[in-house]
Amino acid sequence: MRQEAELQLVFVYNADSGLFNGMADAAHKLFSPDTYSCNLCKVTYGWFTERGAWRDFIEQLDIPCRFLHRDEFRAAYPALEIDLPAVLRVQDGEASPCIESTELNACEDIDALIERVRRHCVAN
């Protein structure tokens, strides 16, 4: 059974949208992964495609999920000033971080990220 439609998770990448930016990010991850600024991208994507375990996790959630790049996030939530990457809970039009940048950046792999999403964003 789905949870209330008002609740949504928003995953925000610390990278801008667009083909050129995507290619530049892929190159950065490949040639200098230690300085890449978006751990959400790094953990959930391989060089070019989304990791299957992450896609499967998102598909099984009972909460709608939305994915925004930094520029899209700033346009959608101009008053919300937070460090990125982050995960937000949006309910009744109000957005608040459920995983902030420092905690998301501490995730070393997909399993750690999934555990944090379950614990901080999905659990009541």
- Look at residue 86 and give its three-state secondary structure: strand
Residue 13 has pLDDT above 80, yes or no: yes
| pLDDT at site 6 | 78
Q: How far apart are CA 39 and CA 5, in angstroms?
A: 28
pLDDT, tens only, 17-64: 655 445 455 544 554 555 545 678 788 876 667 778 999 999 999 899
Other CB atoms within 10 Å distance of the CB of residue 120: 16
- Specify the higher pLDDT residue, 99 or 17: 99
Q: How far apart are CA 24 and CA 41, in angstroms?
A: 13
Structural domains of the chain sorted by starting position, each given as residue range(s) with its CATH number in brackets? 8-122 (3.40.30)
